[in-house]
Amino acid sequence: MRNTGLLIMLLALISVHCTKNEKTGDQISTKDIAVTEKLFGLEFIKAERDSMLQGVNSNLESYRKIHDFSLENKIPPALVFNPIPPGFQPDLQSRPVQWPIPVKVSMPEDINELAFYSVAELSALIRNRQISSMELTRFFIERLEKYSDTLQCLVTLTPEVALEQARMADEEISQGGYRGPLHGIPYGIKDLFAHPDYPTSWGAMPFKDQVINEKAAVIRKLEDAGAVMVAKLTLGALAMGDVWYGGKTRNPWNMEQGSSGSSAGSAAATAAGLLPFAIGTETWGSIVSPSNRCGVTGLRPTFGRVSRAGAMALSWSMDKGGPICRSALDCGIVFQAITGHDPADPSTLDVPFNYASMKDLSSLKIAYLSFLFNDDQDNRENDSLSLETFKKLGIQPEKLDLPDSIPVEALALILDTEAAAAFDDLTRSKQDDLLMRQGRNAWPNYFRQSRFIPAVEYIQANRIRSLLINKVNELVREYDVIISPTFGGDQMLMTNLTGHPCLVMPNGFTEHGSPASICLLGNLFEEGTLIEVARHYQLATEFEDQHPPCFQ
């Protein structure tokens, strides 16, 4: 049998030599093999190195051909990640959804107060024709024009599309063709979703003027729901952090602080009342972290719930799109519109979204990650008060620990490997030098060092991931919801790897006056339960009704 495993593992070192080799015709030597062995904990004798040398150089020619083959970012691997563990059966029965949208909503005396009306409230105003979509759209366009430079949250304003969609919405509604609670509602979207009429920059200088001639599935679905796209919002370059090619997106509560990332603009614009809601994405914290920082409610859905067609790929097995809003109810309304199977994204799963309002939560079985609440973490006081609020809502949360027998942190190499593959052309072309962030903890360095992750280790990590999915599912399925601090331990990475959904919502402020949050974890495909539990919490508190003073 050939030394195929080693040959694959050698790809990392060999790829580093390829630029030189392609110019000079140099070949891999037995000395190169000996050096590489140290990286992977292997040791061969001279005869074994001599035997494999011809095969290694033969593979080198294959690597060159792969490098010469043009691959667009949107081309996925042939392998598709599925978060459903063996024996798990999702609820496939679709039931009607009745959102508890307020019936009596009045226009404010000061029109500026509309900036912080919820999606549900705005939908009532539009349906009752107290305000037109055109008026509302112009209102939010003006808010963006006034404040977006302050927050550095806007990449592209889209007034042409917005005003035409608003005009159509008004015409349809006037003729009795009301599509639902998003009809006529303006929104913004993270600038990694493509629209053929505008650049899709991915937040990165090398792609600043890139125009992708397709409309992302999420945009199409929101268009079908009657929503009005008014802006493409900032993201940290290539979906990391809050630094993009135009600057650093700010936290509207504390302008000295970044809004966190990578859905930086989506969270900041929503928190500041520049938009009723926005769409973000998460691979590892990119909805959760900016929602926490900016004091908004974010929903990270089950993996495979929302199509990524027309969106930048960072990690094919971890990327997830979801809503960032001012309330859990709004998240549910938006999520219902964007979820569903899409043939253009083979990872999407045909599982219906169900939601039912409840009079109280006493029938639910809820746990909390006690070991994180006991840690000396920054938001301990607010989190403890949140637990008390849940108890007042009729919940008796049980203590729960997550599995600690699996090296979760080590599995982050799955993301690193997939990201390096997604942007391999950027690394090879040296255009990664154009990215604003160039430090040790920035993408250019991560992409380069990930070239030294062996293919075998990537496969092994995914095998361990299968065990993690089973263990987490065994624990989570015993409960309807699990309450957790937003940060602390491995829960965020763990649940991003397993594909479980999460909702994060404000629960107070830090000692420095910035918002803080609490996190709800759910079973696969049970976003409806997360939304309802969060809605009851928000009815019992006022955190989601507090807004940054500078933007009121």
Residue 371 sits in a domain of what CATH number? Answer: 3.90.1300.10
Across 315-464, the runs of DSSP E, i.e. the strands, are: 320-325, 366-369, 398-400
Task: Kindly state the average pLDDT of the residues 294-305.
Answer: 98
Please report whether residue 471 resides in a domain. Answer: yes
Between 323-327, 363-367, 451-455, the lowest mean confidence (pLDDT) is in 451-455
Average pLDDT over residues 15-37: 68
- Cα separation values, 238 from 2, 249, 320, Å: 38, 14, 14
101 within domain boundaries: no
| For residue 241, pLDDT beyond 90 | yes
Distance CA 136, CA 132 (A): 6
pLDDT category at 80 given cuts 50, 70, 90 is very high
Query: What mean pLDDT is reported for the chain?
Result: 94
Query: What is residue 12's predicted lDDT score, i.e. its pLDDT?
Result: 45
Query: Mean pLDDT across the stretch 397-413?
Result: 95
- The DSSP secondary structure of 96-109, one letter per residue, reads -------S-----S
Residue 485 backbone dihedrals phi, psi, to 5 degrees? -55, 145
Query: What is the total count of domains within the chain?
Result: 1
Q: What pLDDT is recorded for position 466?
A: 97
For residue 115, is pLDDT > 60? Answer: yes
Nearest to 412 by CA among 369, 370, 461: 461
In this structure, is residue 291 part of a structural domain?
A: yes
Average pLDDT rounded to a whole number, residues 508-523? 95
Q: Which amino acid is at 403?
A: P
* Residue-range definition of the domain harbouring residue 271: 111-404+464-551
The pLDDT of residue 3 is 41
What is the average per-residue pLDDT within 538-544? 98
Looking at residue 26, what is its pLDDT?
A: 73
Share of the chain above pLDDT 90, in %: 89
pLDDT bracket for residue 22 (50, 70, 90): very low
The answer to whether residue 430 sits within a structural domain is no
Residue 428 confidence (pLDDT) above 60: yes
Region of 295 (left: φ > 0; alpha: ψ -120 to 50; beta: rest) is left
Confidence of residue 8 (pLDDT cuts 50, 70, 90): very low
| Chain segment 459-507, per-residue pLDDT in tens | 999 999 999 999 999 999 999 999 999 998 999 999 999 999 999 999 9
Q: What is the band of 4 on the pLDDT scale with cuts at 50, 70, 90?
A: very low
pLDDT band at 127 (very low <50, low <70, confident <90, very high): very high
Residue 63 counted as domain residue: no
pLDDT of res. 377? 80
Confidence of residue 120 (pLDDT cuts 50, 70, 90): very high
